[in-house]
Structure 1
Amino acid sequence: MLKVSREPAAGLPARRAAAAVLFAVLEQQRPLDDALSDADPSGVTGRDRAFVRMLVATVLRRLGEIDAVLAGYLTVPLEGAHPRARTALRLGVGQLVHLGTPAHAAVSATVETVSGHGTDRLKGLVNAVLRRVAAGGHAPREGTAAARKNTPQWLWTSWERAYGAEAAAAIALAHLDDPPLDLTVKSDPEGWAQKIGGLVGPTGSVRVVDAGAVAALPGYAEGEWWVQDAAATLPVRLLGDIAGRSVIDLCAAPGGKSAQLAVAGAHVTAVDLSPRRCRLLAENLGRLGLPAEIVTADATAWRPAALADAILVDAPCSATGTIRRHPDILHLRHRDELERLTAVQDALLAASVEMVRPGGHIVFVTCSLQPEEGAARIAALLAGGAPVAIDPIAPDELPGLPEAVTADGMLRTLPSYWRETGGMDGFFAARLRRLPVN
């Protein structure tokens, strides 16, 4: 579906910024959020900054289609083109084909994005190709054709094997849409939904469409809520009533799940390896006015002074379950990373067993769609003789999501769930119980 063009007042500065961000992601392999944070803000504020993110995210989501269009107008493969020209061409096609931007607005300003890098000679090429694309009358692909074209082969194959062809197509389709904003509130979700202009979902998250600047929404400055995808709230629910209990949150930053634990009355120890991420965690919990002991440490080596009642293992992973919010993952993640990531996940699981008291619970979580980073890790832990057992999840623990409980009692959400109201991220979670010491 074509989106309505939201042309910024300052067309060239916004497109220069978009070109810089897209170049950083695709040519330098930098995460989108980092590239956006580092983008030169001069002349790009407010509505223009929102346009920059929308434009770059659109190109990343539709890159397969965009490159296919360009292939029909180039005499050499796109991979062989100059990186600055390649970036400008992709931005231009994203606007012309997928945002419905008029040619006069999209072409001239986009051509100018190749200036200033010693590449002015490329402007003629970019101008000629984009004008031909504009005259070509291209329309976005729809349905499975769009899903397939914009998904890397290794991901498509993995999802098809794990979930079936129909589910794989539904997952990939969900990645083509801008997601709504989900908020977790401390209390009174109905009241805050009314104030913010959102709706309360089955699991209590407040969902907002076209929210605008997050910090400008009612309740942000007062610390009444935080941004957290609805699926990301589910793992903490699996711990049940944790009021007064000691809970360790491993790999805790940026702190959404730590905040959930604190609001529920747990005594929280939040552990993260990165000093920078721990500072962000402290800032977020500070805004919310929520207490937690923050520990900067390698969770595979660190041990608490006393065994905890419960452990939340929010393990580092490929994050393919969050593509709808982070479309750069489609182009930054590679299959050969999984072996390294699963080794870290195994080490964290093994460490968590040593941190929890007998009878206590471990919830292992990844925001990944890859089966290697889900049930396979639990199977490996059990096969290794760890003194734990699966504590099966019951469907009534997940309101409105009975399909998210697997046959073996674990949690698996897919981006295609709740599609009619905006979807959700893909998460895996398993609940384990520490067996008594013999």
Structure 2
Amino acid sequence: MDIPGLPARRAALHLIDAVLRRGETLDQAAGGALAKVRGDADRALARAIAGEALRWRQDLDELIDSATKMALADDAKARAVLQIMLAQVLRLETPPHAVIATGLPLLMGGPRRLAHGVFSTLMKREARLPAVPTLPEAAATRWGERADAIAAGLVEPPQLDIALRNPAETAEWAERMGGVSLMPGHLRLPRGSAIDLLPGFRDGAWWVQDLAASLPARLLGAGEGPNGKGRVLDLCAAPGGKTMQLAAQGWQVTALDNAKRRLERLGDNLKRTMLEAEVVLADALTWEPEEKFDAILLDAPCTATGTARRHPDVLHRISPRQIDEMVELQAKLLERAAGWLKPGGRLIYAVCSLEAAEGEEQAAPAGLTVLPIEASELPEGLAPTADGFLRTDPGMLAEVGGLDGFFVARWVKD
């Protein structure tokens, strides 16, 4: 059946199924789900539909249940189809007739009349979503007193943040690109900007990087010292945003990661920005450096729940087991990294996670002392914790578009 727009809706359905049934990320599922979707616009539409259906899933289900006499099973295909139909109308402003034309064919041989009836009932009621998405109970419980503020920060996907190679040119680039800067070296642009067509992309003047993700490298400061460039190890470096920051800040960078394809992307980014780093393909749990470092940045593998604004799949697929696995891996990496530091060397530990177990509760290895983060090092509106750490979440800086959730600690070797 050749219905315009149907492949994108079918792909959205496959994306949601991959997240909820197989525990895949949207990025992991995209290759297979989008394989038969032609054109960048339709592929982007499929991602947008799936993203909004996952972002508002709790509230969409409440609407669906309010219009059925007998509750649909949680994993019923009709429920998933209704989720994407309602997400299009209520979040993407797709006309109802187009939603029906591309939604009901997904239930060929199934309960089309039921889905049509539920959808029509909700349209007649002028159904609306709440102002803020309802978090899954498990996530709300884990995030505690900040849960409501975090949920408010998830209403919209994020704008486009870029990091400038030369922070001294911030005002010039802000004027040229019509962006807003929240600190030197940062610009925020409207969502949907065609990245490779923006001024300065081909010249390597900047790279895409969320404001919160740029803070860990900033907290190491300039790499130039009285005896030349300091040596820094960027652990788990790919795809390279922090590597480029550190190189631009004057450090002699060793960028290590165990993902070959992601390291190739890092290499491409270094070439485009005309920055230099030694790139090492290795497993940090077995690799040994030839000499110790002046500083180490460990942006550790984590559950990535802090990225829920752009990756709403994390709201539904992260379990206590996954958190425990990440905490164990992070502790091993921290212990190894601490052994590679020179005396007086600094270690930055960062995770894009909202989980206290991966952040505040992650203990420093023996021989390291907290080097408190200062408010003067942060964008206006952010402040360090009482313990000298940094905790951000999507509910912060809401008046200027928010930011991802991160935990950052800075230690110095005794």
Give the TM-score normalised by structure 1: 0.87
Counterpart for residue 105 of structure 1: 98
- 2:11 is matched with 17
* Runs of 4 or more above 6 Å deviation: none
Q: Is the 8 A contact 1:10 1:44 kept in 2?
A: no
Aligned pair in 2 of structure 1 residues 185, 38: CA closer, same or farther (>3 Å)?
Answer: farther
Q: Distance in 2 between matches of 1:110 and 1:27?
A: 21
How many aligned positions are there? 406
Please report the RMSD computed on the Cα atoms of aligned residues, expressed in angstroms: 2.0
Question: Which amino acid is 2:347 matched to?
Answer: I
- Which residue of 2 is the match for residue 381 of structure 1? 364
Can you list the C-alpha shifts for 1:156-206, whole angstroms capped at 9, x where unaligned?
Answer: 12222xxx3xx3211111012121110001122222223332111125311
Q: CA deviation at 1:408?
A: 1.2
Q: Which runs of 5+ in 1 are unaligned?
A: 1-8
8 A contact 1:103–1:131 mirrored in 2: no
Could you tell me whether the CA contact under 8 Å between 1:108 and 1:127 is conserved in 2? Answer: no
Partner of 1:134: 123
Is the 1:183–1:207 Cα contact (8 Å) retained in structure 2? yes
Write the distance in 1 (CA, Å) between the matches of 2:106 and 2:184: 45
Paired letter, 2:232: V
Please, which moves more after superposition, 120-129 or 191-200?
120-129
Partners of 2:121 and 2:89 in 1: how far apart? 11
Segment of structure 1 superposing worse, 283-292 or 232-241: 283-292
Shift of 1:344: 0.6
Find the counterpart in structure 2 of residue 396 from structure 1: 376
- Please state if 1:169 is matched with 2:148: yes
How far apart are the structure 2 equivalents of 1:318 and 1:184?
A: 24
**Residue 284 (structure 1) aligns with:** 269
Q: Do structure 1's residue 87 and structure 2's residue 70 form an aligned pair?
A: no
Aligned equivalents of 2:178 and 2:8: distance in 1? 29
Secondary structure class of the residue paired with 1:27: helix
Name the structure 2 match of 1:235: 216
1:14-413 equivalences under 5 Å are: 14-40=8-34, 44-79=38-73, 82-83=76-77, 85-115=78-108, 120-142=109-131, 146-147=132-133, 150-160=134-144, 164=145, 167-187=146-166, 188-243=169-224, 244-377=229-362, 380-381=363-364, 386-401=366-381, 403-413=382-392
Following superposition, the deviation at residue 242 of structure 1 comes to 1.1
The 1:54–1:197 alpha-carbon spacing in structure 2 relative to 1, beyond 3 Å, is farther
How much has 1:364 moved relative to structure 2? Answer: 0.6
Give the SS at the match of 2:50.
Answer: helix
When structure 1 is superposed on structure 2, of 234-243 and 59-68 the one drifting more is 234-243
1:329, distance to aligned residue in structure 2 (A): 0.7
Structure 1 residues 80 and 93: alpha-carbon distance in aligned structure 2, compared to 1, 3 A threshold: same
Task: Give the conservation status (yes or no) of the 8 Å contact 1:361–1:432.
Answer: yes
Name the stretch that deviates more: 57-66 or 276-285: 276-285
In structure 2, what is the Cα distance between the partners aligned to 1:201 and 1:87?
Answer: 39
CA shift for structure 1 position 40: 3.5
Deviation per residue, 1:70-123 (Å, 9 max, x gap): 11233544335543x3321110121233333322111121112345xxxx3343
Distance 1:217 1:101 in 2: 28
Structure 1's 223 and 121: CA in aligned 2 closer, same or farther, altered over 3 A?
A: same
Q: 1:107 to 1:248 in 2, by over 3 A?
A: same
Query: Closer, same or farther in 2 for the Cα pair 1:78/1:96, shift >3 Å?
Result: same
DSSP-derived class of the 1:87 partner: helix
Asked if 2 retains the 8 angstrom alpha-carbon contact of 1:114 and 1:122, the reply is yes
Question: 1:222 aligns to what SS in structure 2?
Answer: coil
Q: 1:347 deviation in Å? A: 0.5
Alpha-carbon deviations, 1:384-414, whole Å to 9, x = none? xx1111111111111314x430111111112
1:375 is paired with a residue of what secondary structure?
A: coil
Q: TM-score, normalised by structure 2?
A: 0.92
